[in-house]
Amino acid sequence: MPKSLLFIPDISGFTKFVQTTEAEHSQHVIAELLEVLIEANTQQLRLAEVEGDALFFYKEGQVLSQEKLLAQIETMYTAFYSHLKLLEKNRICPCMACASAIHLELKIVAHVADLQFIEVQNNRKPFGEAVIKAHRLLKNSVESDNYVLLSKELATEIKMPLDYKSSLFSFRESVNTYDDFPVHYIYSEIAVNTLKLQPFQQGQTVNFLHAPNLQFERTFPINAEKLLEMITNYRHRHLWAEGADEIHYNENEVTRLDSEHMCVIGGKHFNFKVVSKPPKTNEIVYGEFTTSPPPVDALYQFFSIKPISENSATLTVELFWEARSIFKKIMIILLAKKGFKKNINASLDKLHEVIVSGII
């Protein structure tokens, strides 16, 4: 039987990340990164299982060539660190999970062997000694947490020099003992600064040369960061946003600049994108932009949060709108402005009730 490839990308620092950061946001960050790695699978590897912070891929009866294997490894590292850069640049949340995500790293372990399979409830997965060995190689004496490791069997199979070097890779030999049996491998640390990171959409920061068209201010008995979470977590939005029947959004994504969501109000769909504006001292700013609600051509809504104490914060809501035609400007004065005031005040009343009730 032809040999098969086992391929395991593992996010380093996950355990510490989860233990020392906010659980929900850390789960979202890890889920995003795992999806990024899955999408970076350019060699049609089969995904056997998601193992917490790792992915277990395999290619049955086939081993990638040296060139294709190294290209696949580089593609995954590039995608991973490109996404971390996106998270860093478009972050609005100050929580430890979002702030420390940029310190996560990636290691990839690859092995080759004759595979056995087990089938459970119509799910066929690799099984046996080769799978155990590949996972054991994740626990090794490599000092870095950012590296690729190939078993010596794999290096031999693809005729790869044990001291292979390139602009990205610089392999060296090593060995660890498992159950009194030495296992040889080669590994290379990955210099992130040598990767050609992918471009991404930079979030929009808006500067206004005039005062807001409407402004509201309330004080809430809640920590400033928790108040931001209440506002930016769309799972809670229907509890306090006046008239919001449904909110559609990416549930596996931490809200950040350029995130999108859709709000259903009275059967009508309104599309929003997250933006920001320069914050004042000691202030957290979250904003939303839409071109959906008539009669405005564009509407910006900003939530600016300023801590008062450990358990209280001030929220300022500002609305800026654009209307190009005289007709639309008249409609705003006669109808829309009054409606905006009513909806925002009702939403802030509901938000206060939700916070005081402690239902979240």
Provide the residue-wise pLDDT of the chain in tens; the chain has 360 residues: 689 999 999 998 866 666 665 778 888 899 999 999 999 999 999 999 999 899 999 999 999 999 999 999 999 999 999 999 999 999 998 888 888 888 999 999 999 999 988 888 888 888 899 999 999 999 999 999 999 999 999 999 999 999 999 999 999 999 999 988 999 999 999 999 999 999 887 888 999 999 999 999 999 999 999 999 999 999 999 999 998 999 999 988 889 999 999 999 888 899 999 999 999 999 999 999 999 878 899 999 999 999 999 999 999 999 999 998 999 888 888 888 899 999 999 999 999 999 999 877
> What 3-state class would DSSP assign to 261?
strand
For residue 314, the one-letter residue type is T
Q: Is residue 69 part of a domain?
A: yes
Shared domain for 162 and 47, answered yes or no, is yes
Q: So what's the pLDDT on residue 18? A: 64
Token pair in block for residue 81: 């660190």
Q: Is residue 325 part of a domain?
A: yes
Of the three residues 160, 194, 228, the one that is the final residue of a domain is: 194
Shared domain for 148 and 256, answered yes or no, is no
Domain that holds residue 342: 214-357
Q: Is residue 202 part of a domain?
A: no
Distance in angstroms (rounded) separating the CA atoms of residues 83 and 28: 13
Shared domain for 24 and 92, answered yes or no, is yes
Distance in angstroms (rounded) separating the CA atoms of residues 79 and 147: 15
In a 10 Å sphere around its CB, with 0-12 CB exposed, 13-18 middle and 19+ buried, how is residue 164 labelled? middle
Distance in angstroms (rounded) separating the CA atoms of residues 132 and 123: 19
For residue 329, the one-letter residue type is K
Q: Is residue 16 part of a domain?
A: yes
Distance in angstroms (rounded) separating the CA atoms of residues 150 and 64: 13
Q: 242 and 350 in contact (C-beta within 8 Å)?
A: yes
Of the three residues 194, 226, 256, the one that is the final residue of a domain is: 194
Q: Is residue 205 part of a domain?
A: no
Shared domain for 241 and 151, answered yes or no, is no
User: Phi and psi (nearest 5°) for 233?
Assistant: -85, 105
Shared domain for 126 and 239, answered yes or no, is no
Contacts of 237 (CB under 8 A, 6+ apart): 244, 247, 263
Shared domain for 11 and 152, answered yes or no, is yes
pTM: 0.87
> What 3-state class would DSSP assign to 59?
strand
Q: State the total domains in the chain.
A: 2
Token pair in block for residue 236: 């809670």
| Nearest one of 77, 101, 116 to 16, comparing CA atoms | 101
Residues in the chain: 360
Shared domain for 233 and 190, answered yes or no, is no
Distance in angstroms (rounded) separating the CA atoms of residues 228 and 234: 11
Q: Is residue 208 part of a domain?
A: no
Shared domain for 158 and 233, answered yes or no, is no
CATH number, domain containing residue 231: 3.30.530.20
CA 42 centroid distance within chain: 21
Shared domain for 308 and 347, answered yes or no, is yes
Q: What is the CA radius of gyration of the chain?
A: 26
Distance in angstroms (rounded) separating the CA atoms of residues 201 and 129: 45
| Nearest one of 17, 14, 54, 23 to 38, comparing CA atoms | 54
Q: Is residue 303 part of a domain?
A: yes
Shared domain for 165 and 224, answered yes or no, is no
Shared domain for 164 and 229, answered yes or no, is no
Of the three residues 130, 159, 194, the one that is the final residue of a domain is: 194
Shared domain for 325 and 246, answered yes or no, is yes
Q: Is residue 206 part of a domain?
A: no
Q: So what's the pLDDT on residue 15? A: 66
| Nearest one of 304, 328, 308, 306 to 316, comparing CA atoms | 304
